[in-house]
Amino acid sequence: MNKTKRIIFKTAIKLFAEKGYENTGIEEITAVAGFAKGALYYHFDTKEDLFDLMLEEGTKLLNNSIELKFRHCNDPLDKIKAILMIEIKTIINYEDFITVVINNTLGENSRTKKCQKAVNNYVDKIGEVLKEGIEAGIFYDKNPEAVAYGIFGVTFSSLLYRLKQDRNATAEQIYEGYVDTVVKGITKL
């Protein structure tokens, strides 16, 4: 991605997070980014294309982080702990992205359906780890899909905590607040 496209892209995500997708116009994105309107249209056909790229890039980043971290995990419990840390680090490093996705998961339009699909695909990965842990006798044999959504809820809880309570909290501090609760809730150990 060239420099102009990256600046427009990052500006759009920031404005989508602050004002919402519907309340953010092309003119505002280009004005804040410091470019003429034509610069945006040179790189993107529509505002929706910006949104789609944001979702694609953010999802790719999250999936790559999980794949890399899983290579160093010995069992499903290590994988769940890794997922929690990745979620929290994603909140801290990509807060605007998470805000946009969470703000666009409710509803019935094409944009919300895209966000729902991305969230569901991510939660399915958590569910697979839970099933692996159930088969290994590590986790309780509960509804792995429901538990996976609960673990995904850590993302939302972390975002709320960070926004409302302590913007300076480190990933490790937030992680310590969640890991024991989650692990004790799902493990038989």
pLDDT of 50 reads: 92
Whether 176 has a pLDDT exceeding 90, the answer reads: no
pLDDT, one tens digit per residue, over 136-159 is 999 998 899 999 999 988 777 777
Q: pTM for the whole thing?
A: 0.86
Q: Could you tell me the two tokens for 44? A: 């993107």
- Contact between residue 2 and residue 42 where contact means Cβ atoms under 8 Å apart: no
- 137/169: higher pLDDT: 137
pLDDT grade for 87, boundaries at 50, 70 and 90: confident
Cβ-proximal residues to 85 (8 Å cutoff; 6+ apart), any chain? 69, 171, 175
Quote the CA–CA distance of 119 and 64 in Å, as a whole number: 15
Instruction: Give the pLDDT confidence score for residue 160 in this predicted structure.
Output: 76
List the chain domain ranges: 1-45, 51-186
| Reported CATH class of domain 1-45 | mainly alpha
Which of these ranges, 6-10, 122-126, 155-159, has the smallest mean pLDDT? 155-159
pLDDT at 189: 66
Residues 6+ apart with CB under 8 A from 12: 24, 29, 33, 47, 50, 51, 54
Strands, E assignment, the chain: none
CB atoms within 10 A of CB 150: 16
pLDDT for position 184: 83
Contact 29, 113 (CB under 8 A): no
Flag whether pLDDT at 41 surpasses 80: yes
Mean per-residue pLDDT, 108-121: 94
Local confidence band at 165 (pLDDT 50, 70, 90 cut-offs): low
Which pLDDT belongs to residue 111?
A: 94
pLDDT recorded at residue 183: 86
Nearest 10 degrees: CA dihedral of 53, 56, 58, 59?
Answer: 170
Q: For domain 51-186, give the CATH superfamily.
A: Tetracycline Repressor, domain 2 (1.10.357.10)
